[in-house]
Amino acid sequence: MVMSNVRHTQVPLSEEPRAEEPRAEEQLYADGMLRVTRTVTPGWALVRLEGDLDVTNRTRALSALRRALRRARPLGDRLIVDVGGVRFIDVAGLRALLDFTEDAAAVLRDVPAQMRRLMDLLDLPPLDRADSRTPAPGGSGRRVKGRGIA
């Protein structure tokens, strides 16, 4: 059995970006299976994963996430990783993603059903129950502490 402490992280309304604030989306990584983008908003670095994350692309995808983290931290920005667009993830991809969020103190949001199902099969606690219509990045998320998948 894998033990993991999960802490719910709420974003105060006063810290949500206003609609009129400029946003710039930057593509950090793309291959035939996965696209990783970063949206810059004052106070937030929102990274979106869209596609498939597995053993074949996890290293390059994590490299893109680390670049986003390096750019966010000096500015004092919080890092939110939106995984709502992930269509498929295998155990290797999930392990890499959970290890990254633990090490980076990042918040996952919009965890899709198939990822929650895989976590359930691995006896891990759920990460996110936020409605996928929650505006980014002001939705609720959960922070992973402890080891991801052993």
User: Tens of pLDDT along 27-52?
Assistant: 989 999 999 999 878 888 899 999 99
Give the mean pLDDT of 108-118.
Answer: 93
Give the mean pLDDT of 48-58.
Answer: 94
The reported pLDDT for the residue numbered 23 is 67
The reported pLDDT for the residue numbered 120 is 93
Distance CA 123, CA 125 (A): 7
Of all residues in the chain, the percent with pLDDT exceeding 70 is 68
pLDDT: is 121 or 13 the higher one? 121
Cα-flanking dihedrals φ and ψ of residue 11, to 5°?
Answer: -100, 115
The sheet that has 5-9: what strands, in order across it?
5-9, 141-145, 107-109, 78-89, 44-53, 34-41, 24-30
Give the mean pLDDT of 9-26.
Answer: 54
CA quadruple 111, 115, 121, 124: dihedral positive or negative? negative
Of all residues in the chain, the percent with pLDDT exceeding 90 is 39
| Total-model pTM | 0.69
User: What's the start-to-end Cα distance of the chain, in Å?
Assistant: 9
The reported pLDDT for the residue numbered 127 is 64
Give the mean pLDDT of 90-112.
Answer: 90
The reported pLDDT for the residue numbered 102 is 86
Q: Report residue 138 as tokens.
A: 């002001």
Overall fold of domain 24-132: Transcription Regulator spoIIAA (3.30.750)
Give the mean pLDDT of 20-30.
Answer: 76
The reported pLDDT for the residue numbered 31 is 93
Report DSSP state, residue 148: S
